[in-house]
């Protein structure tokens, strides 16, 4: 796992598939997404290497239930004591109460998904985690007040997190950056692409300075035009 400093208070944790983000307030840390199954120990080691303890992480906020975002949540929560939060529509899948619906793949997405699936753990379900449900419009106690934004389309319970005081937006998989040229694009592997595009329009209107994606390099500085360009793809 690579640990990359984006801002003095923000680090990117990059896994073989997907990524998570660590936000530092003066008195606590917040983890946004938690990587794949087995990532909990690697996250704990990264937190320690940055001069903190796993117990300094007070909350893990999951942008959605997919295994490359929620797989490590239960393990890291057990190591840190952190509370796990997810949108109330996706929370039952993270708890293991229900099986989440698979994406409706576009034809061109199939080979991309097949390649990604080869790098994900096989044979075991995502370990369940105790989850507190959140809803659109809630404000979480980090980053000066992190606003929960419901962005359905990738999953029914996908969320983004916006820190207005910092200009930082965590998009989850509603948005991505191309691995080829870094172009900001709508997210892939969705349940409902039209809903996703509508959600992307909502994010583009926020005026974010920094956009942190579930996949691909973040945009650090003047992110809003890139988000508007992705929203215009249609």
127: pLDDT strictly greater than 80: no
The β-bridge relationship of strands 132-134 and 139-140 is unpaired
pLDDT digits (tens, 9 = 90+) for 70-118: 999 999 999 999 999 999 999 999 999 999 999 988 776 677 767 766 6
List all residues 6 or more positions away from 166 whose beta carbon is below 8 Å from its beta carbon: 7, 9, 143, 144, 209, 210
Strand, helix or coil for residue 68: helix
pLDDT digits (tens, 9 = 90+) for 212-232: 999 999 999 999 999 999 998
122: pLDDT strictly greater than 60: no
Handedness of CA 43, 45, 46, 47 (dihedral sign): positive
């Amino acid at each position: 796992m690579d640990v990359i400093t984006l801002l003095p208070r923000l680090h990117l944790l990059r896994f073989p598939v997907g990524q998570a983000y660590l936000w530092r307030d003066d008195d606590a840390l917040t983890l946004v997404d938690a990587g794949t199954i087995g990532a909990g120990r690697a996250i704990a080691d990264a937190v320690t290497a940055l001069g903190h303890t796993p117990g300094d992480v007070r909350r893990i906020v999951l942008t959605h239930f997919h295994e490359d975002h929620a797989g490590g949540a239960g393990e890291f929560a057990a190591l840190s004591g952190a509370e796990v939060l997810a949108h109330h529509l996706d929370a039952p899948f993270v708890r293991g109460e229900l099986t989440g619906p698979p994406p409706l793949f576009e034809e061109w997405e199939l080979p991309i998904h097949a390649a990604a699936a080869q790098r994900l753990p096989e044979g075991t379900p995502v370990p369940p985690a105790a989850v507190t449900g959140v809803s659109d419009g809630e404000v979480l106690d980090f980053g000066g007040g992190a606003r929960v934004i419901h962005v359905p389309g990738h999953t029914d319970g996908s969320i983004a997190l916006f820190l207005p005081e910092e200009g930082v937006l965590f998009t989850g998989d509603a948005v991505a950056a191309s691995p080829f040229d870094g172009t900001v694009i709508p997210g892939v592997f969705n349940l409902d692409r039209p809903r996703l595009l509508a959600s992307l329009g909502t994010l583009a209107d926020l005026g974010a300075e920094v956009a942190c994606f579930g996949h691909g390099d973040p945009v650090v500085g003047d992110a809003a035009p890139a988000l508007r360009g992705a929203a215009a793809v249609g």
